[in-house]
Structure 1
Amino acid sequence: MLRTTLVAICLAFVPVISASASALASGSIPASVDAYVERYRAATGLPGVEVAITKGGKVIHANGYGKTATGERVTADTPMAMASVSKSFTALAVMQLVEKGKVALDQPVCRYLPEFTMADPRAAKITLRQLLNQTSGMADSAFHEKSLPQPGTLEGAVARLKTAKLATPPGTAFSYHNTNYQVAARLVEVVSGEPFAAYLHAHVFTPLGMGNSKTVDTDRDLPGSARGHLVLLGRAVAVPEPAGFGNGSGGVLSTANDMARWLIAQNNGILSRESIKEMRTPSEQNQEYALGWMIGTTERGTPVIEHDGDLFTSTAAQLLMPEPGYGVAVMANTGTAYGDADALMDGIVAMIEGGAPQIPSSPPYLVTDILFTLLTLATAGLAVRGVARSRRWAATSGAWRRWRLLPYLGPLALCIMIVPVMRVLLRGGDIRWIQVVYLYPTFMVWLVTASAAGLTVVTARLWGTARLRRQ
């Protein structure tokens, strides 16, 4: 897409900040990371971010930078949205039940959750493992989870599946679909007899000392510290997250200090070795996705276990490097269009491996935003000119010329069809109109302006023609 292409061009000209591996090993990593994060924020306009770095059983660094959407200072104890990083927590909750013998990964979900039914008989064969490794057969292409009315509870998230169908037979294809994890979280509720938020509090957050962490249901439950921004013309603008349900799939709120404890616990007895191995074993359908974790490597080839998360106004990322023993978590209060959490994560990993992180030379998409802003102003000006000259146009045009008005309605047609178009571009991924606005704000401002301008010009010219006929 346009923004992705622009980023690739910009990154070819970005400066770097050096940090040697010996400096990190000697204990100067806090100062090095602080300098890197502050330079990154200055270059991009990122309002607020938290970072946690661990090694083995020790916290190397945990800090907060900048401001929240409500203007408060971000600290290492400021709750921020973890988005889809939450899937790792849901998978852990399920594995705890597996270890207690209450559920089995390869048994049908409906055995433990009778309320889980779909308008597709194949759904009865979906196993708990298939929910967690995203091979259940549920997919955005068959069930528009984002654009349908949003539930308010996990029970409601499962209930709305009664009329849904599968995209593929269970266990045959990978499809990243948030509903998988909402069903898994509801299963935890039913099997444990505790609300999912209470279960995580009692069995995950409290035992790990994550006193500032919790999970929420919807965007309405996000506290001010967890709300985020769009970046327009290089300036961050605080905006509410589009309405959506996220518990189980993206509802966890946490802090740098809490995430440091979480990262340490991944290799420190949170589960048995067998369960940890199970969680890090990918499916045959996708060798890069396991149970709530992704399997990959760094640019230098170091194996990593990771998972990122994207809301439309904030992002998060977590990563484990099993061989050197490092763990990293980043939370940023700008949305998925900017990818700040992932970018900062990449920079910190580069520093850990003795490389030099990249610093963008300007705020993301600044040139694109300027171009579309100018295009919007030009479009409005041309519309005024077109309306002013509509009487003259009507006086000099024949019937054949009126067909030439059709292209003026092109932007309106695109504006109406933008959701289906985006679904094609996203290869079946679901999205709502307002979410497209959050992804491409200045483009959508231009498109709406062009739609209104084209419709106004066409109306004015046809009205002028009708008046001349009456005269």
Structure 2
Amino acid sequence: MSADTPMAVASVSKSFTSLAVMQLVERGEIDLDRPVRGYLPEFTMADPRAAKITVRQLLNQTSGMADSTFREKSLPQPGTLEGAVARLRTAELAAEPGTAFSYHNTNYQVAARLVEVVSGRPFRDYLHAHVFAPLGMRNSTTIDTDRDLPGSARGHLYILGQAVALPEPTGFGNGSGGVLSTAHDMARWLIAQNNGILSPRSVKEMRTPSAQNDTYALGWSIRRTERGTPVVEHDGDLFTSTAGQLLMPRSGYGVAVMANTGTAFADADALMDGVVAMIEGGTPQVPSRLSPYLVTDLLFTLLTLATIGLAVRGVVRARRWATRRTGRQRWRLLPYLAPLALCAAITPIFRLLARGRDAAWIQVAYLYPTFVIWLLTTAAACIAVVIARLAGGGRGEPRPPLTVPTAGSRRSG
């Protein structure tokens, strides 16, 4: 890896999409407070309230769209921005537009499609012509799906303390998370934020949060560091890589980080916090040498090995078990189906624990790899034991021959 290696910046892409929209606003081609449908007639939903969604509400995530009513990750994935908008036709809103904040990638996919339609050119071409080329970002682009990720943007999971290279799970991200960039290019991007990329009025607009969420503006988050320094930032998470960007408007410092490890490990956040601490004259916090993930991975690895051992024992002894149970007692096999039921319920359980955020089954596996391996092993082991016991009961042990005592064999009284 080098400073010119293209990597995924994930949801940092939202700042690029917001900028593209604001450029069209400055040219008078878009009004932030007009309904999206006035510019994008194809944007229709099953909920009639969608007709009131404004461009601003897409960018500050108050449109009313949410993972709870539109499962954008676990549904079949589109291949284009046009397809991303088309699949909303059967979707409902979770809230009245403009009344509640909900971080939802589809907002920015609709915004990117809006840029395509209003500008009359593909979103990728628009960014190249109006953002990347003017800023000298020669190695940056935007892509549609995981299939478009170059080899340099492939990421990793940590399993048993080792970095394991894995492909990103299937997903669509253009507009919401599709930008690929480099360290050098991101430096040019951050410098441009304070160097006339937009008018001061538009920059202020982009950094003004909504009434529904005082930390999220138009593709940027507003907060303070631990030492109280005001910053504007945005982070990004894929399942195999992470990224972050941060600006300190008062001092002019900017930081961009891309890490080729997944969202479960928050490496980009840790690196960002360390760099910011140094800028502010502090000392970066050194991560613990004993990763909590290593302890968890070891635990589930031991459980997986123990499960395999118990399964072998259960299959070997299945015939003996079957001879001791009548047909009516085989209801005792029902608890062995519990791991299979948990496999089927894992995504609804995740949504509950994640407060409505959506994920596909394979994406949950990327977040908790050793747990899911253990769960699948347990489900397979239980099914194998059940089949073996049922088969053993079908064959059964041969019964001893029936003998009838003769009169001469009876004892005298």
TM-score by length of 2: 0.94
Could you tell me which of 154, 161, 164 is aligned with 1:237?
164
* Offset at residue 174 of structure 1 (A): 0.7
Contact 1:234 1:364 in 2 (8 A): no
Distance verdict in 2 for CA 1:379–1:104, change over 3 Å: same
| CA RMSD across the alignment | 1.3
- Alignment equivalent of 2:340, drawn from 385, 403, 412: 412
Matched with 2:46 is 119
Distance 2:355 2:31 in 1: 33
Q: In structure 2, what is the Cα distance between the partners aligned to 1:149 and 1:256? A: 33
What is residue 93 of structure 1 aligned with on the other side? 20
Question: Unaligned 5+ residue runs, structure 1?
Answer: 1-73
Deviation of 1:403 (Å): 3.1
1:421 to 333, 349, 369: 349
Q: For each residue in 1:394-422, what CA deviation from the matched residue of structure 2 results, as whole angstroms up to 9, or x when unmatched?
A: 22235565333222221111011111111
Deviation at 1:244, TM superposition (A): 0.8
Using the alignment, how far apart are the partners of 1:263 and 1:278 within structure 2?
17
- Count the aligned residue pairs: 398
Shift of 1:364: 5.6
1:73-125, Cα deviation, whole Å (9 max, x unpaired): x0000000000000000000000001111101000001111111111110000
Distance 2:175 2:5 in 1: 21
Larger Rg: 2
* Contact 2:12 2:235 survives alignment (8 Å): yes
Moved more, 234-243 or 397-406: 397-406
2:410 corresponds in structure 1 to none
1:279 aligns with 2:206: yes
Aligned positions of 1:337-376 closer than 5 A: 337-360=264-287, 361-363=289-291, 365-376=293-304
Q: CA deviation at 1:217?
A: 0.7
Q: What SS is found at the alignment partner of 2:185?
A: helix
Partner of 1:330: 257
Secondary structure of the corresponding residue to residue 242 of structure 1:
coil
1:396 aligns with 2:324: yes
Is residue 146 of structure 1 aligned with residue 65 of structure 2?
Answer: no
The percent of aligned pairs where both chains have the same amino acid is 77
Are the aligned partners of 1:228 and 1:314 in contact in 2 as well (CA < 8 Å)?
yes
Q: 2:124·2:142 contact (CA, 8 Å) conserved in 1?
A: yes
CA-CA distance at 1:430 after TM superposition: 1.1
Does the CA contact (< 8 Å) of 2:113 and 2:123 recur in 1? yes
Residue 248 (str. 1) matches residue 187 (str. 2): no
- Rounded to whole Å, the distance in 1 between the matches of 2:281 and 2:314 is 60
Matched, 1:215 2:173: no
Deviation of 1:469 after TM superposition, in Å, equals 8.2
Match of 1:50 in 2: none
**Is 1:292 the counterpart of 2:219 in the alignment?**
yes
Write the distance in 2 (CA, Å) between the matches of 1:127 and 1:369.
46
| Gap change, CA 1:202 and 1:364, over 3 Å in 2 | farther
SS at structure 1 position matched to 2:95: coil
Amino acid at match of 1:413: A
RCO greater where, 1 or 2, for CA within 8 Å and sep 6 or more? Answer: 1
DSSP 3-state at the match of 2:25: helix
Q: Is the 8 Å Cα contact of residues 338 and 364 (structure 1) preserved in structure 2?
A: no
Helix, strand or coil at the partner of 1:238: strand
Shift of 1:232: 0.9
